[in-house]
């Protein structure tokens, strides 16, 4: 088979970009055997071409001039491994407009500007792929778009942020939120500024992309209901343990009667549930559909080489396929309504701090009953003249549970606003 030389451009040559080059160099023979193409990095855009690189690029490959990469006729496909919305977004638009296929590892860009970028790719007749933007090495986009194309996936549950998963696993073994964050930073799992991870922003972008692909309808980053882990206390983690559960930051995308709900929030997960076994910095995505019932994919959700695996897989897919079509381009083919958040239903866990007086419990349960919410499990603990009530509530709409808890917070014997999380079994 005659080999075809394909020039690759990289936007960025950092942790992921240099790993992509390493894999293309070290795996060149395997890629050629599989595809008949020899992929070679011919240009890579960086801020500082003089900086030392862990896997050096070839002579003359690094440039700080975007136009040199865009206008190079030897660059056929580009991997965007630079990050950020701007200038990465403008560069990707220009490259697509110039007729170059792009693969991106940039979750924030795809989750925010996907609609516009896919339209630009489609207009130019080139591919835009994004496997590496969600869960690094886990090939979940390909599984959803290709393997499960007729499976009517109606629910996606995911642990899609390794930093918070590491922190929550750490808190389970004892220690405060601050201890867990310090340890995640010491291991290099959390950045010096961990905001995107702990507020759920990183997970929300990934869940927006997964829901879009799973349901075939655009879900943007802003559409995702989001709550981070910053309010979690050691007491919540140990209360969950007493109930046979763990707390995880979970992404939940639901398609119910033609309406969609996507949320990221800490949840209590039953110890026997597959997501409870996801420990440390790993990611997992569980896909539920009529025919497939349940498929769980688990693996490393970050790291240079891990993410580069997905970038290289997308590059290989681009050169191994041609033209545009459903598999290569925009996953969306329909508009879905948004499920009103109050109608989203789940089992819930509520943690209440109350004064230790007779009748409090009856008062709380009667308010819940007034909203048709019933109690499945109850743990009451005395604490210095006060008491904590830990309630597991049967499945009920979020609006009813929140309404009841709003009324309960107004009771004089309730000392702090109740803390509410969904339960996943
Ligand atoms: N690292 C991971 O584990 C991981 C996992 C999944 C997804 N991702 C995604 O992959 C992308 C890259 O991440 P990374 O960890 O490789 O980042 P990184 O190590 O910071 O590398 C970024 C690269 O882009 C270049 N760059 C940044 N801004 C630029 C600008 N304005 N003009 C020219 N060059 C610019 C940098 O140049 P200099 O080298 O000269 O500074 C650097 O080479 C991000 O979208 C990230 O979210 C990363």
- SS3 sequence, 320-342? HCCCCCCCCCCCCCCCCEECCHH
Residue 332 falls inside a structural domain: no
| C-alpha span between 179 and 66 (Å, rounded) | 43
Q: Do residue 156 and residue 127 come from a single domain?
A: no
Is residue 300 in contact with ligand 1, taking CB distance under 6 Å? no
Q: List all residues 6 or more positions away from 12 whose beta carbon is below 8 Å from its beta carbon.
A: 44, 45, 46, 80, 81, 82, 83
Is the distance from CB of 262 to CB of 211 less than 8 angstroms?
yes
User: Which CATH number is 74's domain given?
Assistant: 3.40.50.720
Nearest-atom number in ligand 1 for the CA of 47 is 40
| C-alpha span between 161 and 157 (Å, rounded) | 12
pLDDT of residue 2: 54
Q: Do residue 150 and residue 131 come from a single domain?
A: no
Q: Do residue 147 and residue 290 come from a single domain?
A: yes
| C-alpha span between 307 and 223 (Å, rounded) | 26
pTM check: above 0.95: no
Tally of domains in the chain: 3
CB-count burial class (<10 Å; 0-12, 13-18, 19+) for 299: middle
At 106 the three-state DSSP class reads coil
Choose the residue to mutate in 16, 112, 201 for probing ligand 1, maximizing ligand atoms within 8 Å of C-beta.
16
Is residue 194 in contact with ligand 1, taking CB distance under 6 Å? no
Q: Would you give the end-to-end CA distance of the chain in angstroms?
A: 52
Is residue 159 in contact with ligand 1, taking CB distance under 6 Å? no
Structural domain range at position 216 = 140-300
Q: Do residue 157 and residue 76 come from a single domain?
A: no
Q: Do residue 283 and residue 162 come from a single domain?
A: yes
Residue 328 falls inside a structural domain: no
pLDDT of residue 1: 47
Is the distance from CB of 80 to CB of 93 less than 8 angstroms?
no
| Cis peptide bond prior to 11, omega within 30° of 0 | no
| CA 226–ligand 1 middle distance (angstroms) | 25
Q: Per residue in 265-319, pLDDT tens?
A: 999 999 999 999 998 889 999 999 999 999 999 999 889 999 999 999 999 999 8
- pLDDT beneath 50, residues of the chain: 1, 326
| C-alpha span between 62 and 51 (Å, rounded) | 10
Cβ atoms within 10 Å, residue 415? 14
Q: Do residue 407 and residue 294 come from a single domain?
A: no
Q: Do residue 205 and residue 132 come from a single domain?
A: no
Is the distance from CB of 143 to CB of 276 less than 8 angstroms?
no
Cα Dmax for the chain: 85
50 an active-site residue? no
pLDDT of residue 34: 86
| CA 11–ligand 1 middle distance (angstroms) | 8
pLDDT of residue 385: 81
Q: Where are the beta strands (DSSP E) in 93-209?
A: 101-104, 128-129, 153-159
């Amino acid at each position: 088979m005659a080999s075809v030389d394909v020039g690759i451009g990289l936007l960025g040559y950092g942790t992921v970009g240099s790993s992509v080059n390493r894999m293309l160099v070290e795996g060149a023979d395997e890629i050629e055997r599989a595809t008949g193409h020899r992929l070679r990095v011919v240009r890579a855009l960086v801020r500082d071409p003089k900086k030392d690189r862990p896997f050096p690029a070839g002579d003359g490959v690094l440039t700080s001039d975007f136009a040199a990469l865009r206008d190079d006729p030897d660059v056929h496909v580009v991997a965007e491994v630079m990050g950020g919305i701007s200038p990465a977004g403008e560069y990707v638009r220009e490259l697509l407009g110039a007729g170059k296929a792009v693969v991106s590892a940039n979750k924030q860009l795809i989750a925010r500007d996907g609609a516009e970028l896919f339209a630009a790719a489609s207009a130019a007749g080139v591919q835009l792929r994004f496997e590496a933007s969600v869960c690094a090495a886990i090939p979940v986009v390909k599984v959803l778009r290709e393997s499960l194309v007729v499976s009517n996936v109606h629910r996606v549950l995911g642990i899609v942020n390794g930093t918070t998963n590491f922190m929550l696993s750490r808190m389970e073994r004892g220690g405060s939120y601050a201890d867990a964050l310090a340890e995640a930073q010491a291991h290099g799992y959390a950045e010096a500024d961990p905001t995107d991870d702990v507020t759920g922003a990183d997970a929300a972008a990934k869940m927006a992309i997964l829901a879009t692909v799973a349901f075939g309808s655009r879900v943007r980053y802003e559409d995702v209901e989001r709550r981070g882990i910053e309010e979690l206390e050691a007491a919540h983690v140990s209360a969950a343990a007493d109930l046979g559960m763990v707390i995880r930051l979970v992404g939940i995308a639901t398609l119910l009667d033609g309406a969609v709900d996507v949320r990221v929030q800490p949840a209590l997960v039953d110890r026997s549930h597959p997501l409870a076994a996801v420990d440390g910095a790993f990611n997992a995505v569980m896909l539920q559909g009529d025919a497939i019932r349940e498929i769980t994919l688990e693996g490393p959700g970050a790291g240079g080489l891990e993410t580069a695996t997905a970038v290289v897989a997308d590059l290989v897919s681009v050169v191994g396929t041609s033209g545009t079509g459903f598999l290569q381009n925009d996953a969306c083919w329909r508009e879905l309504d948004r499920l009103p958040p109050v109608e989203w239903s789940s089992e819930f866990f509520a943690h209440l701090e109350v004064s230790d007086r007779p009748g409090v419990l009856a008062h709380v349960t009667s308010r819940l009953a007034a909203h048709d919410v019933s109690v499945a499990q109850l743990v009451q603990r005395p604490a210095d003249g006060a008491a904590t009530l830990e309630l597991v509530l049967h499945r009920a709409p979020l609006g009813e549970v929140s309404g009841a808890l709003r009324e309960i917070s107004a009771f004089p014997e309730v000392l702090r606003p109740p803390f509410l999380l969904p339960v996943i079994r």
